Structure 1
């Protein structure tokens, strides 16, 4: 019966997974802690439902105070992603395959080689999220991300053979509300609607080969926000059977129009399925398969293009070189203190690798990712 309930979600997952992305702007990393927070609410609400059932069956042996759940939940999350080498479709490319040797060489300039090539890219996001339960069914939440990206480059432009650029700051703040629906004591759904506010900068500048004497506009992948109001609906299913807890999530990021720089980041569709083994109260291993769908950028920031037949100085400045397919497997550990002072707290650790990438390239490809989330319920 539980497998039957999972089938529709699994179908959605595998249907939507075949368009995921390579390197996304770091603003899309700031979607981490909310999932852990909502998942924690489901688990807590399921426990409350069991308690309520037991109370109804035997009210004399169950103190009423145990029916009161924690209302305030906060989390602090960190994610780190590394990109290295390139892909065009499923074909691996080296940075020398993407780098144009320059006007003094015999190599012809094409749409697939560039005078500037990002080589190693690190994206990090730290996110603080707070959620408050208005009732057992309804909650409101807000999250504030701090984002950092460091990108190493090589170039055929004199004076810029190799250089590094860093952008960092507050990203797009999200506010939202969720609705919890218990199906029974072991299965439940959570519906969430978030609104991402354009608080992250889309005017980040740095010293590039475009101008050696002043900072100029950086490409899409180094901006801290989308510049648009974005809708973020999600659906989460969680079930439990014996010592196994499992679930599936579908999360969307839907852009609304173009920003002040005349472009719109692509819509993002994320789906994952996961399972956790709860044999031990204080340490619980987990496994997750994640897929992300990301559309191409619509429009263009003309400040990052150049004149001539080849207007894109780097692959990350071409709106068409966004989009593709990615599956990621992640292994995790949840650490808890079930009886001590931190009994309402857990630490979630995960590390993952892409197992399949098909990118609209040439495009930077992901090497690995790792994350940590600390969740506390009051």
Structure 2
């Protein structure tokens, strides 16, 4: 979290307004910072972006209901029961998780008809766990934390403006952009950590699926985005998907993901725009299993992955309007879940924050 706040402080000065002559850029030319691939560029334009995202999770749910750790370790069967050192029920429970993701992106338009995009990721994750003693009961043996850090998958895409790119500063504008994207399996899928077992041992094992930085699969990532502006009012919507095209080298694939989002914004001045957004997401269970991921913990079970979630988000876009700061953009967006139906037991999301900088040349 402190890294994301540091990014926000360092970038904020790039978007401060002044009374000097304003360039023809507006804060609501772009969607809220959490919406990717919302716009194309004119021929010859180049854009660099950097985003930092922080997400926190805590507690556990089965479906829409909260479930206590003591209940999980006394009632939820262990998928691996019967194998050596595997108890009949789950005996390790994740309690909190923090994720920091850093995304560096570049866009270039070789023509008005297409904009090319690439984005790389670096991901840090922390998960806190409770380990219960032995094969039954509710006596806590101790706690431990896993903390993998690695490069994530690389995204490449071509953006096609189906409705022409509006002129800069247009007070009435409509954009419709089609994204044809692929996720390349450049992220790590074999991260390890030292854990505390119910028998008090501390082996080094491969961390479960959600703690890995990459998917290991080639994924198709289409999206369609509509964005409009009527004077100081802006609005838009996007439908997007991540469709797994194969299984990875370990024999599994994450579930397909489908997202829909819609937003509205208000621009009180050229340099600032305020937004509100709703996002709905559904993700399937993992297909297959990694034979190296095993243990009496819910995160090792491919069936305890995915589900449905709805978030509400509030954001602000800032843009520099003169001199050396002209065109530098800063976006901030804070989100909270209002509905979660999880294939659990599974950790529930608490909140997320995205801070991003963008500059076109």
Q: TM-score range by the shorter chain?
A: 0.7 to 0.9
Aligned to 1:243: 232
C-alpha distance in structure 2 between counterparts of 1:123 and 1:269, whole Å: 21
Q: Does 1:288 align with 2:271?
A: no
Q: CA deviation at 1:360?
A: 1.5
Q: Distance in 2 between matches of 1:252 and 1:356?
A: 20
Q: Contact 1:287/1:332 (CA < 8 Å) preserved in 2?
A: yes
Change (3 A) 1:109 1:182: closer
Determine whether 1:358 maps to 2:341: yes
Q: Once the 2 structures are TM-superposed, how far is the Cα of residue 240 of structure 1 from its aligned partner?
A: 1.3
Matched with 2:152 is 171
Identify if the C-alpha distance between structure 1 residues 209 and 350 changes in structure 2 by more than 3 Å, giving closer, same or farther: same
Q: Could you tell me how far 1:151 is from its partner in structure 2?
A: 0.5
Tell me how far 1:111 sits from its aligned partner: 5.1
State the alpha-carbon separation in 1 of the partners of residues 92 and 346 from structure 2: 13
Shift of 1:303: 1.9
RMSD: 2.3
Q: Is the 8 A contact 1:141 1:176 kept in 2?
A: yes
Counterpart for residue 268 of structure 2: 279
Q: Distance in 1 between matches of 2:216 and 2:193?
A: 19
How many angstroms does 1:242 deviate by? Answer: 2.4
- 1:221 match: secondary structure: helix
Distance in 2 (alpha carbons) for counterparts of 1:263 and 1:363: 19
Whether 1:123 and 2:99 are equivalent positions in the alignment is yes
Q: What's the secondary structure of 2:187's corresponding residue?
A: coil
Helix, strand or coil for the counterpart of 1:316?
helix
2:179 to 183, 192, 199: 192
1:96 counterpart (64, 70, 80): 70
Q: Contact between 2:284 and 2:305, CA under 8 Å: does it hold in 1?
A: yes
Question: 213-222 vs 188-197, which deviates more?
Answer: 213-222
- Tell me, yes or no, if the aligned pair for 2:228 and 2:235 is still in contact at 8 Å: yes
Number of the residue aligned with 1:146: 122
Task: Quote the offset at 1:195 in angstroms.
Answer: 1.2
In 1, the alpha carbon distance for the partners of 2:97 and 2:309 equals: 17
* Counterpart for residue 86 of structure 2: none
The correspondence for 1:342, drawn from 310, 325, 329, is 325
Bigger shift: 209-218 or 237-246? Answer: 209-218
Equivalence for 1:209: 196
In the other structure, the counterpart of 2:211 is 222
**Counterpart Cα distance in 1 of 2:181 and 2:266:** 30
TM score, norm. by length of structure 1:
0.76
Alpha-carbon spacing, 1:95–1:372, altered in 2? closer, same or farther (3 Å)? same
Aligned equivalents of 1:285 and 1:33: distance in 2? 11
Distance 1:284 1:205, change over 3 A: same
| Contact in 2 for aligned 1:33/1:76 (Cα 8 Å) | no
Give ranges in structure 2 of 5+ residues lacking alignment. 1-31, 80-88, 135-139, 167-171
Alpha-carbon distance between aligned partners in 2 of 1:264 and 1:198, rounded to the nearest angstrom? 11
Alpha-carbon deviation of 1:137? Answer: 2.1
TM-superposed deviation, 1:346: 0.9
- Check the 8 A contact 2:144/2:196 in 1, yes or no: no
User: Is the 8 Å Cα contact of residues 221 and 316 (structure 1) preserved in structure 2?
Assistant: yes
Deviations 1:143-192 (A, max 9, x none): 11000100011101479610111011110011121111226862121111
Distance 1:126 1:160, change over 3 A: farther
Choose from 62, 70, 77 the match for 1:110. 77
Question: In the TM superposition, what is the alpha-carbon distance from 1:194 to its structure 2 partner?
Answer: 1.2
Give the Cα separation in 1 of the matches to 2:129 and 2:211.
13
Unaligned runs of 5+ in 1: 1-31, 46-68, 101-106, 306-311
| CA–CA distance in structure 2, aligned partners of residues 324 and 261 of structure 1 | 23
1-side partners of 2:330 and 2:70: how far apart?
A: 41
- CA deviations on 1:314-369 (whole Å, 9 max, x unpaired) are 11111111122210000001111222322212100010110111111111000111
2:58 aligns with: 84
Match of 2:307? 324
Gap change, CA 1:34 and 1:181, over 3 Å in 2: farther
Q: Output the CA distance in 2 between the equivalents of 1:214 and 1:116.
A: 14
2:280 pairs with 1:313: no
From the two aligned structures, give the one with the greater helix fraction: 1
Alpha-carbon distance in 2 for matches of 1:274, 1:267: 24
1:72 aligns with 2:42: no
Report the counterpart of residue 104 of structure 1 in structure 2. Answer: none
